[in-house]
Chain A
């Protein structure tokens, strides 16, 4: 089964994303910030990561840079999901190795379309 780690400091967003992803047949785990996510990835690399940008402790882009240095850290497909919606954030995310980028607010259709765009479904 495909796994997806949802990284967001909002419990509500994590819950919404979980519901959508479970409907898309993903096994979902959650992390509330970048550091928690990094530790989760060190234990098991997920197939996909849905990643917020602004979070306490460690933000999304720092997490992504760290992740890519880990053993097996280039494997997960990373999709940003954030309120940051200017071109400079988007290009930075893509440069650091994100595959897709969702601008909040999002819905199930957008998430499904973006996941299918990068071959996750």
Chain B
């Protein structure tokens, strides 16, 4: 791999998906792109990278961007964001939305475990909230992930990570070696391809946004742009969930942490502007 090829790949990834190549890049490139190189008929990853730089093959560019994206996820990941939905978010919104319609957006949903966890949880809470209707939109940049998500077909390993056995029994059926989610839960989630670098206003108004473990891959400008666009989609009483290791601190004042919680954010009425990129000392 030449430095030139790696730099070209880094620029391409940033432009296409916002992904910033980390420091351990050679290892990451090698492990993620080896299967792509093999599949596309290149002798090795270096040959693939050279071709990527010299030819403008959209199909190849897409395959590479897709393979470099991290898709790690599991049912009820980190637990807290689901507990908080139950204890704080749902009671507040159920009171505030007399229609009972709640719009939830899972940004970067990967293979669907996060939106499906919400849908299953809502089923459990149905007796307490008979009026509530969740409209769950789940988006991701990867078509490969979205296909898997929509099929609702998971391996034995995947259904054992984070999913309580009672829920598995209730909502899954065994199909050969795989486990298929019931059509009822699958139909509760709308999947759509979306790149977070696009204009997010197209997503429309939402009440709750889950945007977990994706901003960590972006540079600070991209983080700020995504967060500030999300803030324009949310009403003043909306909620934002970020990953356990993520924060808005030092990035934007559009959101502030919800007191007494971790990873849960509400809109900041004192925000200086909304959705307008601005420079701040020390931020870059």
Question: Among B162, B166, B169, B173, which residue has its beta carbon within 8 angstroms of that of A113?
Answer: B162
Let me know if A39 is at the binding interface, CB within 8 A: no
Give residues of chain B (147-166) contacting chain A, Cβ–Cβ below 8 Å: 156-157, 160-162, 164-166
Q: How many A-B residue pairs have CB under 8 A?
A: 31
Q: Which residues of B contact A57 (CB under 8 A)?
A: none
CB pair A103–B164 under 8 Å, yes or no, is no
A94-B165, A94-B169 known; A86 and B160 CB under 8 Å?
no
Question: Can you list, as one digit per residue, whether each of A10-29 has a CB less than 8 Å from chain B (1) or not (0)?
Answer: 00000000000000000000
Question: Among A85, A101, A109, A117, which residue has its beta carbon within 8 angstroms of that of B174?
Answer: A85
CB pair B166–A94 under 8 Å, yes or no, is yes
Q: Interface size for chain B: under 10, 10 to 19, 20 to 34, or 35 or more residues? A: 10 to 19
Let me know if A100 is at the binding interface, CB within 8 A: yes
Q: Which residues of B contact A106 (CB under 8 A)?
A: 160
Let me know if A91 is at the binding interface, CB within 8 A: yes
C-alpha gap A113/B156 in the complex (Å) = 14
Q: Write the nearest CB–CB distance from B86 to chain A, whole angstroms.
A: 16
Let me know if A90 is at the binding interface, CB within 8 A: yes
Which chain B residue has the least Cβ–Cβ distance from A90?
B169
CB pair B160–A103 under 8 Å, yes or no, is yes
Question: Among A87, A103, A109, which residue has its beta carbon within 8 angstroms of that of B173?
Answer: A87
Q: Which residues of A contact B168 (CB under 8 A)?
A: 90
| Residue with the highest number of chain A CB atoms closer than 10 Å, among B156, B165, B174 | B165
CB pair B165–A113 under 8 Å, yes or no, is no
Give residues of chain A (91-117) contacting chain B, Cβ–Cβ below 8 Å: 91, 94, 100-103, 106, 109-110, 113-114, 117
Q: Which residues of B contact A87 (CB under 8 A)?
A: 169, 173-174
Q: Which residues of B contact A100 (CB under 8 A)?
A: 164-165
CB pair B174–A86 under 8 Å, yes or no, is yes
- A residues at B contact (CB < 8 Å): 85-87, 90-91, 94, 100-103, 106, 109-110, 113-114, 117
A-B pairs with beta carbons under 8 Å apart, 28 shown: A85-B156, A85-B174, A86-B174, A87-B169, A87-B173, A87-B174, A90-B168, A90-B169, A91-B169, A94-B165, A94-B166, A94-B169, A100-B164, A100-B165, A101-B165, A102-B160, A103-B156, A103-B160, A109-B161, A110-B160, A110-B161, A113-B160, A113-B161, A113-B162, A114-B160, A114-B165, A117-B164, A117-B165
